[in-house]
């Protein structure tokens, strides 16, 4: 538990008694627990450093003294102090300031001997933090010395007590944030005197006092400290207590407003850690900041697996339509590209696709403009008609051809230029492309792009490139999703890092259930229970009708992860496979 000594002056020990406050703003203390996320500050090792130098720049000055104090939980673990021979004369003004003379350092070791010893003492690792007052100065000299010696700088997390003081010490309390001023304010046991060890000891007391002040603002863990000095309103930091008591596993979180309304829905692998991050400077979105100022509580929805959490998030956003969610807010109705069902079919962008047409269409696309770009790509390389009227099998006597027929870009079936059989042969490349067999289309489009570039018609070439990109993206998505949305049932499993199995049940592209088989348990028993109790999903009548496309893509991403094993499969009309010569083998060109 956090160290608390109530009868000593502020700064003498690490005081975190008030680290967690109730969200009601009344300041009711809440006991901290060892299960809180991240590393509690009382478990963090701080190496507080101070340097004395011959000047202000590491490129023209040298270190004359290093002092450091290693502390954890308010207790001193060790101290480090040595003079350093700078290899040059100490300016008289520096001697007056620090009291360090040339005679004092003449027999002292050089920095090449001192720095390795200091780094060994510090032992910078995952849970060790370097602290200094005006840290840029001290760290700059240390890094410069390491670079000069070809030593790897360990890159520890750095805390600057000047930056912390600016957050919690007002001008009414202290005229400035100098070490001497803060040491006096917090009644430090050691008065700083421009000697490295004395100043480091004073900085320890200042650090502890500052952390004590920041604890009620939600700065109680190492993860909080990374952004503690950043400009986060205190009212928002205090709300970090909303994360207290949240599970540390995967799930969905809902920020609630004063009327218990859902403001925002999100997902996390670790609910507690993710929610705490919202109340630090890591959260920079203005819209979310506005939401946090309104929120009064967080409602968790624990999930068995991260995939379940991601899918639940999508479904909740679609169901609730929270005001602060911008993605996935409405049911997925992405467009498809297909041929119309008539004697002389044309390409058409549609919002709904019959399930029986799944193998004869591209998509779904991310937008109508993307679908139209893919349509234009196919129209460029195939004489598929572009007029919209429905054409009869036998042309009318009064029918007239359009300008495309005059340009030989259409076979003019409207005036009898082609019969149904010849037209079908002419648009064979388009039909193959709609089945995701895009080789011929890609070759033709790339040839057109090269020709335009050779003629220095770069804007036209860029347009063709973007159309090719849309075509390939639609073909790749169709190729990826067809096996999933047509399969009545897929059961797959993946071994967990901590042992056991994560098991997923998918029906027609919809996540019908997930479960975890613990280490040592029979996973097939869990599979049986999951199949019996999983959601019943009837065969959809429309393509991707059982689940939004975004959900099926999440499932596809999980199935494609390394180590996933297929447990059982009730395959649909499209095999669960990735064709060797499919659209996925073609590189999608970048857009301009």
Residue 510 has pLDDT above 80, yes or no: yes
Q: What is the pLDDT confidence band of residue 35, given thresholds at 50, 70 and 90?
A: very low
Give the pLDDT mean for 22-36: 37
Q: Could you report the per-residue pLDDT of 390-405, keeping only the tens digit for each? A: 777 676 666 666 656 6
pLDDT of residue 97: 94
Q: Check: CB of residue 156 under 8 Å from CB of residue 124.
A: yes
pLDDT of residue 426: 82
Between these two residues, 419 and 165, which has the higher pLDDT value?
Answer: 165
Which of 194, 198, 208, 586 does the annotation list as catalytic? 194
Out of 10-19, 306-315, 545-554, least confident range: 10-19
Q: What share of the chain is helix, strand, coil (3-state, %, to 5)?
A: 40, 15, 45
**Residues whose CB falls within 8 Å of the CB of residue 440, separated by 6 or more in sequence, listed in order:** 429, 432, 433
Out of 43-57, 175-189, 222-236, 554-568, least confident range: 222-236
Residue ranges and CATH numbers for the domains of the chain are 41-225 (3.30.420.10), 234-320 (3.40.1440.10), 336-482 (no CATH), 488-570 (no CATH)
Q: Are strands 564-570 and 510-517 parallel, antiparallel or unpaired?
A: unpaired
pLDDT of residue 34: 35
Please name the residue ranges forming H helices in 186-264: 196-214, 222-225, 234-237
Give the pLDDT mean for 307-314: 96
Between these two residues, 329 and 34, which has the higher pLDDT value?
Answer: 329
pLDDT of residue 20: 40
Residue 509 has pLDDT above 80, yes or no: yes
What distances in angstroms separate CA 399 from CA 202, 402, 409, 426, one per listed residue?
A: 95, 10, 18, 21
Sheet holding 63-72, edge to edge: 75-83, 63-72, 45-53, 128-132, 157-160
CA 425 to chain centre: 49
pLDDT averaged over every residue in the chain: 87
**Residues whose CB falls within 8 Å of the CB of residue 67, separated by 6 or more in sequence, listed in order:** 49, 50, 51, 79, 80, 81, 195, 196, 197, 198, 199, 200, 201
Q: Could you report the per-residue pLDDT of 104-114, keeping only the tens digit for each? A: 999 999 999 99
Q: Could you report the per-residue pLDDT of 166-223, keeping only the tens digit for each? A: 888 888 889 999 999 999 999 999 999 999 999 999 999 999 999 998 887 778 888 8
Based on the residue annotation, tell me whether 194 is a catalytic residue of this protein.
yes
pLDDT of residue 331: 53
Q: What is the pLDDT confidence band of residue 344, given thresholds at 50, 70 and 90?
A: confident
- Among 460, 473, 444, 472, smallest CA distance to 379 is for 444
What is the percent of the chain with per-residue pLDDT over 70, rounded to a whole number? Answer: 87
Query: Residue 393: how many CA atoms within 13 Å on its side-chain side?
Result: 4
**Cα–Cα distance for residue pair 186/19, rounded to 1 Å:** 19
Residue 141 has pLDDT above 60, yes or no: yes
Residue 592 has pLDDT above 70, yes or no: no
Residue 330 has pLDDT above 70, yes or no: no
pLDDT of residue 400: 61
pLDDT of residue 227: 73
What is the percent of the chain with per-residue pLDDT over 90, rounded to a whole number? Answer: 67
**Cα–Cα distance for residue pair 85/2, rounded to 1 Å:** 41
**Residues whose CB falls within 8 Å of the CB of residue 258, separated by 6 or more in sequence, listed in order:** 294, 296
**Cα–Cα distance for residue pair 58/48, rounded to 1 Å:** 20
SS3 252: strand
**Cα–Cα distance for residue pair 84/66, rounded to 1 Å:** 7
Which of the given ranges, 163-172, 278-287, 460-469, has the highest pLDDT on average? 460-469
Give the pLDDT mean for 502-517: 97
Between these two residues, 7 and 565, which has the higher pLDDT value?
Answer: 565
Give the pLDDT mean for 157-162: 95
Q: What is the pLDDT confidence band of residue 63, given thresholds at 50, 70 and 90?
A: very high
Structure tokens at 361: 């269409």
Annotate 56-81 with DSSP letters as a single string.
S-TTT--EEEEEEEEEETTEEEEEEE
């Amino acid at each position: 538990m956090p160290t608390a000594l109530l009868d000593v002056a502020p700064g003498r020990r690490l005081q975190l008694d008030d680290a967690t406050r109730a969200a009601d703003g009344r300041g009711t203390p809440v006991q901290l627990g060892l299960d809180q996320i991240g590393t509690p500050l009382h478990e963090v090792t701080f190496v507080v450093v101070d340097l004395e130098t011959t000047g202000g720049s590491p490129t023209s000055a040298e270190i004359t003294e290093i002092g450091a104090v290693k502390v954890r939980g308010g207790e001193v673990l060790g101290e480090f102090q040595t003079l350093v021979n700078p290899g040059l004369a100490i300016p008289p003004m520096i001697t007056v300031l620090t009291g360090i003379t040339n005679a004092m350092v003449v027999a002292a070791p050089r920095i090449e001997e001192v720095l390795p010893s200091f780094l060994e003492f510090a032992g910078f690792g995952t849970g060790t933090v370097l602290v200094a007052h005006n840290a840029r100065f001290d760290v700059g000299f240390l890094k410069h010395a390491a670079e000069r010696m070809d030593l790897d700088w360990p890159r520890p997390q750095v805390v600057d007590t000047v930056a912390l003081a600016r957050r919690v010490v007002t001008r009414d309390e202290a005229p400035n944030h100098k070490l001497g001023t803060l040491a006096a304010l917090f009644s430090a046991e050691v008065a700083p005197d421009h000697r490295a060890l004395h100043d480091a000891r004073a900085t320890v007391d200042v650090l502890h006092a500052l952390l004590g002040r920041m604890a009620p603002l939600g700065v109680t863990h190492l993860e909080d400290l990374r952004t503690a000095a950043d400009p986060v309103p205190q009212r928002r930091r205090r709300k970090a207590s909303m994360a207290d008591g949240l599970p540390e596993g995967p799930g969905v979180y809902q920020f609630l407003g004063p009327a218990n309304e859902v403001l925002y829905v999100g997902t996390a692998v670790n609910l507690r850690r993710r929610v705490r991050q919202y109340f630090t400077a890591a959260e920079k979105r203005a819209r979310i900041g506005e939401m946090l100022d309104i929120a009064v509580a967080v409602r968790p929805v624990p999930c068995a697996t991260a995939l379940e959490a991601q899918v639940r998030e999508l479904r909740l956003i679609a169901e609730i339509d929270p005001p602060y969610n911008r993605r996935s807010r409405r049911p997925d109705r992405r467009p498809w590209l297909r041929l119309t069902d008539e004697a002389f079919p044309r390409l058409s962008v549609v919002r709904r696709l019959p399930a029986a047409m799944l193998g004869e269409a591209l998509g779904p696309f991310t937008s109508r403009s993307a679908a139209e770009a893919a349509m234009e790509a196919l129209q460029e390389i195939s004489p598929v008609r572009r007029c919209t009227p429905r054409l009869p099998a036998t042309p009318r006597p009064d029918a007239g051809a359009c300008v495309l027929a005059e340009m030989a870009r259409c076979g003019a079936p409207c005036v009898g230029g082609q019969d149904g059989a010849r037209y079908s042969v002419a648009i064979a490349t388009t039909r193959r492309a709609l089945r995701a067999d895009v080789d011929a289309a890609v070759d033709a489009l790339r040839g057109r792009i090269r020709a335009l570039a050779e003629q220095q018609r770069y804007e036209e070439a860029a347009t063709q490139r973007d159309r090719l990109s849309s075509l390939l993206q639609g073909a790749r998505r169709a190729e990826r999703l067809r096996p999933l949305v047509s399969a009545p049932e897929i059961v797959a499993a993946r071994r967990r890092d901590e042992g056991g199995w994560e098991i997923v049940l998918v029906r027609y592209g919809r996540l019908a259930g997930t479960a975890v088989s613990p280490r040592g348990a029979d996973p097939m028993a869990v599979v049986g229970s999951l199949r019996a109790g999983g959601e019943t999903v009837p065969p959809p009548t429309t393509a991707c009708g059982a689940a939004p496309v975004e959900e099926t893509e999440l499932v596809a991403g999980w199935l494609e992860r390394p180590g996933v094993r297929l447990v059982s499969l009730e395959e649909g009309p499209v095999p669960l496979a990735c064709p060797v010569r499919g659209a996925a083998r073609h590189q999608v060109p970048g857009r301009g």
